[in-house]
Structure 1
Amino acid sequence: MMHSVSLKLFAEFNNLTSLHPTPTRFTFGPFNFPVRLNRSKRNCKLIARVSERDDGGTESEQNTTSFYERNQMYVLMKQQMELAALSENYEEAARLRDSLKLFEEEEPVLRLQGLMKEAIANERFEDAARYQNQIKEIAPHYLLKCSSDATTLGIRVQAKSVYIEGRSQPLRGQYFFAYRIRITNNSNRPVQLLKRHWIVTNANEKSEDVWGIGVIGEQPVLLPNDSFEYSSACPLTTPSGRMEGDYEMKYIDKVGSKTFSVSIAPFALSTLGDVTDNI
């Protein structure tokens, strides 16, 4: 038996003439629910209902799916709190803030994350390891950091992602992440980056391969000890996921050199950031 989360959002705003006055349905990740608008009031309410269904599948798959559904609800609640504050509905913003705090205390992964941070701060490392293992059981990919660092044949690739809330629309299942890449040539030969290959995986384990020539329109040459940095972005249909891939490069100090692959280690795309933030 698996718990599923059904969400119904009733958003009521004043003087938002661009919004439809009649009920509109939005697709939100695996959910489809109405947003009802009324210009005469100024409040936002989020109602969550938990139901049970038998979907089969392994316990690990069920736990992971349940976590990511709750993650979607958490992100939506945060957005509604900020929206209430922007509309100067401070009473509603305070209510949502308290609801988020309660959510963090009761949501298993977030609660275990807090316990793990506390255990590390107090040097109770055996307890921290136990909490970490429990998180792995509930959400195996949650402990993947929002950064990675890998070296192949002396070429070092560092990656870091960040959630861009201002360009995301959780109601429509649209989450926007920016990432920054730093490539450093620690070898003793000059190299050129020719092609890129990304594997983007969302929270539902749906992967997409993306190939391209160079990066941001360039095929940079890196001399020994040189670095090249660039930023790009990745939209996602779930509030978390991961990216990994490789660059095709070649040495340019010898005619006819064969190309070789440089690994980009996996890093998380997460609206919640790293579990180990501030540790």
Structure 2
Amino acid sequence: MHSITLKPFTQFNTIESIHTAPRRSCFGVINPPVRLNCRTIARSSETDGGAGAGAEADQTQQSSSSLFARNQTYALMKQQMELAAKSEDYEEAARLRDSLKLFEEEEPVLRLRGLMKEAIANERFEDAARYRDQIKEIAPHYLLKCSSDATTLGIRVQVRSVYIEGRSQPLRDQYFFAYRIRITNNSNRPVQLLKRHWIITNANEKSEDVWGIGVIGEQPVILPNNSFEYSSACPLTTPSGRMEGDFEMKHIDKVGSKTFNVAVAPFALSTLGDATDNI
């Protein structure tokens, strides 16, 4: 195993690995995989018939399409601002910055999430609940965080995702998301990670299952009170989506131990980022 010094868990190194199968998917063209360095670290409804139902379905579809278009615009503006700054066109970068700020103030989901966060910080929980319910009506999946944390049989899996503007091309419906995973063995038995399984769902609710051996070419052994971290990435053809899955593991301190699955709780892939605090 190659060892490097990793940045804090909520930050990302340059992403060099992606899912290895399938090579081409409904979520975008996947490049050939490249091995990524890692390290092991120690630590102490019912529906109505007739025209009414049809009208409601059309309204829902139009709302979803409108939200998709706004997300696409937001992602494109952020990328243009970054490119303007890199090319030292600071006047254009400033113009785009101001446009983004105005967009964030007018975009319903971003505005409501900001209001909800402010209400929580000021302990106005009734207001926070109202904003949350309004978000549910507009875009329920946007309440899903860009992070997750789940424990199965003493094995804790923490995930954090970020949108990578530099590797995305919104005009071509190509959105690139990186995610970082920390697996911590809080049990008193050593385990080995054998296989991975991901369920990747885009904004159109189109899902794909991805299976693989180990992670980033490794089948790491994680001792008690130790953690294993790695970074990977996922391309989508929509500005948002979600991931969830599980790792197949086994205890290696006893011959013939049966394998078991460790859950990876759902987390969002979003160009809008996360209105909540990091892990």
TM-score interval, smaller chain: 0.7 to 0.9
| Higher fraction of helix | 2
CA deviations on 1:115-155 (whole Å, 9 max, x unpaired) are: 22222232211101110111111111111111111111111
Q: TM-score, normalised by structure 2?
A: 0.74
Give 1:177's aligned residue. Answer: 177
Give 2:256's aligned residue. Answer: 256
RMSD of aligned alpha carbons: 2.2
C-alpha distance in structure 2 between counterparts of 1:114 and 1:179, whole Å: 23
Give 2:165's aligned residue. Answer: 165
C-alpha distance in structure 2 between counterparts of 1:220 and 1:83, whole Å: 39
C-alpha distance in structure 2 between counterparts of 1:217 and 1:201, whole Å: 24
Question: What letter matches 2:182 in structure 1?
Answer: R
Deviates more, 1:207-216 or 1:77-86: 77-86
Confirm whether residue 233 of structure 1 aligns to residue 233 of structure 2: yes
C-alpha distance in structure 2 between counterparts of 1:241 and 1:120, whole Å: 26
Change (3 A) 1:119 1:162: same
Q: Which portions of structure 1, spanning 4 or more consecutive aligned residues, are displaced by more than 6 angstroms?
A: none
Pairs within 5 Å for 1:177-216: 177-216=177-216
The share of aligned pairs that are identical, in percent, is 85
Confirm whether residue 275 of structure 1 aligns to residue 269 of structure 2: no
Gaps of 5+ in 2: 1-26, 28-53
CA deviations on 1:9-45 (whole Å, 9 max, x unpaired) are: xxxxxxxxxxxxxxxxxxxx9xxxxxxxxxxxxxxxx
C-alpha distance in structure 1 between counterparts of 2:101 and 2:276, whole Å: 19
Q: Retained in 1: the 8 A contact 2:161–2:178?
A: yes
Q: Retained in 1: the 8 A contact 2:79–2:166?
A: no
Pairs within 5 Å for 1:46-195: 57=57, 59-195=59-195
Change (3 A) 1:173 1:252: same
Partner-residue secondary structure (3-state), 2:63? helix
Q: Retained in 1: the 8 A contact 2:78–2:165?
A: no
Deviates more, 1:171-180 or 1:86-95: 86-95
| Higher fraction of strand | 1
Q: How many residues align structurally?
A: 226
Question: What letter matches 1:128 in structure 2?
Answer: A
Q: TM-score, normalised by structure 1?
A: 0.74
Deviates more, 1:227-236 or 1:88-97: 88-97
Gaps of 5+ in 1: 1-28, 30-53
Confirm whether residue 245 of structure 1 aligns to residue 245 of structure 2: yes
Shift of 1:91: 4.1
Q: Which has the higher Rg, Structure 1 or Structure 2?
A: 1
C-alpha distance in structure 2 between counterparts of 1:184 and 1:88, whole Å: 43
